[in-house]
């Protein structure tokens, strides 16, 4: 029997660290391009500054809602942001299947 992990008791998807790393990269790039602080991104998107920080630190995998609301808060097309994340995912393929700690290098 496979080891269950996480809040739901289900094994996390092996792509989670890859998505976290790619989203963190895109979020950080957009935030810096727009010269915004994490606090300002939080205020614009409706999320806490801590959550935005955890996304950039690859500690959280964004939900679809979070990805959309953060994109809108940054005045970016959510579809383009998701496509940008997808295009960055191959750069982080080495993280596939690794746990939280291994992905936070």
Whole-model pTM?
A: 0.81
What pLDDT, on the 0 to 100 scale, is given for residue 104? 41
The domains of the chain, with CATH numbers, are 16-92 (1.10.260.40)
Tell me, what DSSP letter sits at residue 95? G
pLDDT digits (tens, 9 = 90+) for 41-81: 999 999 999 999 999 999 999 999 999 999 999 999 999 99
| Residue 100: predicted pLDDT | 55
Distance of CA 20 to the CA centre of its chain: 4
């Amino acid at each position: 029997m496979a080891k269950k992990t996480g809040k739901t008791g289900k094994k996390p998807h092996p792509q989670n660290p890859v998505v976290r790393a790619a989203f963190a990269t895109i979020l950080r790039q957009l935030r810096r391009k727009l010269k915004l602080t994490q606090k300002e991104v939080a205020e614009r998107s409706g999320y806490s500054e801590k959550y935005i920080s955890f996304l950039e630190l690859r500690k959280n995998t964004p939900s679809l809602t979070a990805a959309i609301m953060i994109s809108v808060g940054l005045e970016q097309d959510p579809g383009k942001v998701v496509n940008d994340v997808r295009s960055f995912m191959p750069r982080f393929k080495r993280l596939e299947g690794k746990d939280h700690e291994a992905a936070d290098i």
